Chain A
Amino acid sequence: MRLEPQSPHVLGYAFVAFGAAVAAFFWFIMDNVPLTALGIGMAVVGSSLAITPLSPVPSATVRRMLEGSLLNIEALLEELGASLKGYYVPKADGSVQVYVPMGKGSAASVAGSASASTSANSGSNGNGNADADDDASANANSGADDCSNSGSSAPPLDAPVDGLITKVGGMQYLVIFPPASALMKNLPPDDDQAGAADLEGAISEAVVEEAGLADSLRVTESGQSVTVEMSSPKSKAGAGRVRHVMGSLEAGIAAAVAARARGRAVRVVSEEDVKGRKRKVTLALC
């Protein structure tokens, strides 16, 4: 027998109806309290069943789709030689985009492959000097200011998107739609009070409930820093360049949610796997 997807809800409604009937019968006719309570209990359990949502797409499938979306980004970053940490910037339409500074270490062909609307003046940025030393870039990223990247800073929230590579304030940025960008549309509309108050709830909703990438998480804020501690992160994707530039899949989703909730650019400063089943992600609000 094949069960229809909505059968738990039908079962729940049946329990509610049957439980109510049993309770009424034993209360009014039989005057029996325990069996009346049993009927009420059945109705309670049935109502809980009825309002529990089904998952039309299994969490494992959602997870694999998100992991697969990172493969193209990995190839793009590899091709362009992007190695600086990106900024998660919230946009007016509710989406979040990642602006990756195309500083030292990016391919020399970046300036030539930029869209027609970008400036050809790349002298000040030093993009003509191709330097594939990722270690040097990584060391530059560990400076005192978590929001700076070898001289670049977080782009403004109204930064334009003129093609794949856009120029903002004399600095070229590679603009990427992260996997979490689409998940942002599932979040409730922006509400200044609600969004500001429950950052942990918003990140948990996206990472744990929607994407099924962790069992639970805890968020603590300290000044301009946000620490997310995830329990049992499940994604194995986001190795290499993607992980360095955008963070792991879980960290990227947390950064996107934080950017949208706080209305500021966010950067994944560090990730640390603790005891194998916990991951500590540090975000910086720029």
Chain B
Amino acid sequence: MDKNSLSNLTLASFVAATVWALAALKEARIDVYISMFTLEYFVCLAVFRPRRRFFDLPAAALFGAFAVIVSLRVIEVLYG
């Protein structure tokens, strides 16, 4: 199996395991799920280095969402 397919398979496994585990823990914050998806996506990117046909839009979108989540948390901490 080439590394591109392995990367996608690993990502799918991570996502499924994450949703299952956090749902079992009755996690109700959507930002936790998104943060975990972002982490898993970039881990797969770093480990497998899959090729991309063009600009990595999922990576950019996940990073942007993660940045927004972190910003909201910081604002919540600073301003209550």
Residues of A whose CB lies within 8 Å of any CB of B are 27, 33-34, 36-38, 40-42, 44-45, 47-49, 51-53, 55, 59, 209
Task: Select A38's contact among B19, B27, B29, beta carbons within 8 Å.
Answer: B19
B58 touches A47 (CB 8 A): yes
Chain B's closest residue to A42 (CB) is: B15
CB pair A51–B52 under 8 Å, yes or no, is: yes
CB distance from A263 to the nearest CB of B (A): 27
B30 touches A37 (CB 8 A): yes
Closest Cβ of chain A to B47, distance in Å, is 12
What is the distance, in angstroms, from B50's C-beta to the closest C-beta of chain A?
A: 6
Set of chain B residues within 8 Å of A40, measured between Cβ atoms: 30, 33-34, 37
Residue B12 interfacial (CB < 8 Å): yes
Report whether over half of chain A's contact residues are helix, strand or loop; otherwise say mixed: helix
Query: Are B41 and A44 in contact (CB-based, < 8 A)?
Result: yes
Structural contact, B34 and A51, CB atoms closer than 8 A: no
B57 at the interface (CB under 8 A from A): yes
| B33, B58, B62 interface centre (most CB from chain A within 10 Å) | B58
Instruction: Tell me which residues across on chain B come within 8 A of A36, comparing CB atoms.
Output: 30
Q: Evaluate contact between A52 and B27: CB separation under 8 angstroms.
A: no
Assess whether A33 is in contact with B28, with CB atoms less than 8 Å apart: yes
- For A45, the chain B residues whose CB sits under 8 A away are 8, 11-12, 15
CB distance A52 to B34 under 8 Å? no
CB within 8 Å of A: which of B27-80?
27-30, 33-34, 37, 41, 50-54, 56-58, 61-62
A45 to B12, CA, bound (A): 6
Docked Cα-Cα span, A51 to B11, in Å, equals 14
A47/B11 in contact, CB under 8 A: no
* In contact, A41 and B37 (Cβ under 8 angstroms): yes
Contact call A47/B22, Cβ cutoff below 8 A: no
CB <8 Å contact, A52 and B8: yes
Q: Enumerate chain B residues within 8 angstroms of A53, measured Cβ to Cβ.
A: 4, 51-53
Closest Cβ of chain B to A6, distance in Å, is 11
Give the interface centre of A27, A42, A45 by most chain B CB atoms within 10 Å: A45
* B16 and A51 form a contact (CB under 8 A): no
Q: What distance in Å separates the Cβ of B9 from its nearest Cβ neighbour in chain A?
A: 9
| C-alpha gap A51/B50 in the complex (Å) | 10
- Which of these, A33, A48, A52, A59, contacts B30 with CB under 8 Å? A33
Partner of A34, one of B19, B50, B51: B19
Give the Cβ gap from A193 to chain B, nearest Cβ, in Å. Answer: 20
A contact residues around B57 at 8 Å (CB): 47, 51
